[in-house]
């Protein structure tokens, strides 16, 4: 698979997972957390899917398109290992959805990042809340794997529910 094909497959899986989560969480209260603003494409899609919800964004710095930036009141800027802890104290365990794009091109750095951030997710999620992630979180206590839409290849994206 070419790198272009891999990006297209990842983005299609991401959109399919987000769309399914929006349907599944329609009756579940809670805010939305976007971990990794990047260019703002996913944040923009989350605004479309959840127009009446608060969406909090986490990233080291803002590099997104100007139209895809959250209001500063909904932005946690800095190292996620620190800002997730601060957010848990501020927001509590009230998120209906955590979308986490936390992988790097370097496999060792990805493993380290997942091990640092993954265990912090349950403190932000309400019971029954969902995590969608580009990386496996199978080792995170209090999260149980759930099925993804059938059009997503195994291992391409990951979904969990807080117990």
Q: Is the pLDDT of residue 160 over 90?
A: yes
The pLDDT of residue 1 is: 87
Average pLDDT of the residues of the chain: 96
Q: Is the pLDDT of residue 70 over 90?
A: yes
**% of the chain residues with pLDDT over 90:** 96
- pLDDT confidence tier of residue 105, bands split at 50, 70 and 90: confident
Give how many domains the chain has, as a whole number: 1
The pLDDT of residue 104 is: 87
* Range of the structural domain that residue 47 is part of: 3-162
- Separation CA 12–CA 70 (nearest Å): 23
- Separation CA 106–CA 135 (nearest Å): 13
- CATH of residue 95's domain is 3.40.50.150
The pLDDT of residue 79 is: 96
**Are 1 and 156 spatial neighbours (Cβ–Cβ below 8 Å)?**
no
């Amino acid at each position: 698979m070419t790198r272009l094909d891999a990006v297209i497959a990842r983005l299609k899986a991401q959109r399919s997972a987000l769309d399914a989560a929006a349907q599944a969480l329609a009756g579940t209260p809670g805010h939305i957390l976007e971990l990794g603003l990047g260019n703002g494409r996913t944040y923009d899609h989350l605004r479309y899917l959840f127009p009446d919800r608060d969406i909090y964004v986490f990233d080291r710095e803002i590099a997104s398109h100007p139209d895809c930036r959250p209001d500063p009141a909904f932005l946690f800027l800095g190292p996620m290992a620190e800002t997730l802890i601060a957010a848990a104290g501020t927001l509590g365990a009230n998120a209906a959805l955590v979308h986490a794009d936390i992988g790097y091109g370097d496999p060792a750095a990805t493993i380290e990042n997942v091990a640092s951030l993954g265990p912090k997710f349950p403190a932000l999620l309400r019971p029954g809340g969902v995590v969608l992630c580009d990386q496996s979180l199978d080792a995170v206590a209090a999260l149980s794997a759930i099925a993804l839409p059938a059009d997503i290849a195994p291992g391409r994206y990951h979904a969990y529910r807080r117990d």
